A and B are shown apart, each in its own frame.
Chain A
Amino acid sequence: RKEVEQDPGPFNVPEGATVAFNCTYSNSASQSFFWYRQDCRKEPKLLMSVYSSGNEDGRFTAQLNRASQYISLLIRDSKLSDSATYLCVVHTGGFKTIFGAGTRLFVKA
């Protein structure tokens, strides 16, 4: 089992749709959780940090369920510019940070 698992997608949604991504992690001692966005052939950029049960920033909501060891990302009112790969990132302690392989999102007009 991979340490961090994501549905690779791709998710194809129309503009205005709500889309949710899930991410599961295997290390119950994991401490910090992040969602990064990565555009094609670019570097990952931080989208949201999740330190407690959840975090909301505009159209984006991230939730953490420690008991079930998963993190979710909800995008409301999808825009064309949301098309990207979304990476789930789990910090397991010390300097150990594990990236998921990413979920690809395509938002279409």
Chain B
Amino acid sequence: DAMVIQNPRYQVTQFGKPVTLSCSQTLNHNVMYWYQQKSSQAPKLLFHYYDKDFNNEADTPDNFQSRRPNTSFCFLDIRSPGLGDAAMYLCATSRDPGLAASYNEQFFGPGTRLTVL
């Protein structure tokens, strides 16, 4: 089945120790998104890639970076995790939303729950 996969599902890191979260997709979608979701809050978009074009949200801290080496994979790098970065990180994909309204639908991976000690 076509899907969005995230690894690891649970990640524990130490304060200030860099961490990388991984997302892969078999949907062949143009767009990949990274969201941060804290308890009882809405998912907050950090950035997205449209093919190789990277788009950062204005309020995303510099501590968060991303890489997309190919269509299938996208990585979230947290350079110096703080206690406030503990959250669920969700990867999502979509087709090109400019082509049709239905292409705005996003498909989510199961998320990586990050704990910062």
User: In the bound complex, do residue B110 and residue A42 qualify as a contact, i.e. CB atoms below 8 Å apart?
Assistant: yes
The proximity string for A residues 31-53 relative to B, scoring 1 for CB distances below 8 Å and 0 otherwise, is 11010000001111110010100
Q: Give the contacts of B68-117 with A (CB-CB under 8 A).
A: 88, 90, 97-98, 101-102, 104-111, 113
User: In the bound complex, do residue B42 and residue A87 qualify as a contact, i.e. CB atoms below 8 Å apart?
Assistant: yes
Binding stretch for chain A, among B14-22, B43-51, B59-67? B43-51
Query: Closest chain B residue to A104 by CB distance?
Result: B40
How many residues of A are in contact with the other chain, CB < 8 A?
A: 22
User: In the bound complex, do residue B102 and residue A51 qualify as a contact, i.e. CB atoms below 8 Å apart?
Assistant: yes
Query: Closest chain B residue to A88 by CB distance?
Result: B42
User: In the bound complex, do residue A91 and residue B111 qualify as a contact, i.e. CB atoms below 8 Å apart?
Assistant: no
Contacts of B41 in A (CB 8 A): 101
Inter-chain CB contacts under 8 Å: number? 55
Binding stretch for chain B, among A11-19, A67-75, A92-100? A92-100
Q: A51-B101, A94-B98 are in contact. Are A42 and B111 (CB under 8 A)?
A: yes
Q: Does B26 lie at the interface of the complex (its beta carbon under 8 Å from any beta carbon of A)?
A: no
Of B90, B98, B102, the contact of A44 (CB 8 Å cutoff): B90
User: In the bound complex, do residue A44 and residue B43 qualify as a contact, i.e. CB atoms below 8 Å apart?
Assistant: yes
Residue ranges of B at the interface with A (Cβ–Cβ < 8 Å): 31, 33, 40-45, 48, 50, 55, 88, 90, 97-98, 101-102, 104-111, 113
**29 A-B residue pairs with CB within 8 Å:** A31-B101, A32-B97, A32-B101, A32-B102, A32-B104, A34-B104, A41-B88, A42-B110, A43-B90, A43-B111, A44-B108, A45-B108, A46-B105, A49-B102, A51-B102, A87-B42, A91-B97, A91-B104, A94-B97, A94-B98, A95-B31, A95-B55, A95-B97, A97-B45, A97-B106, A99-B43, A99-B44, A101-B40, A101-B42
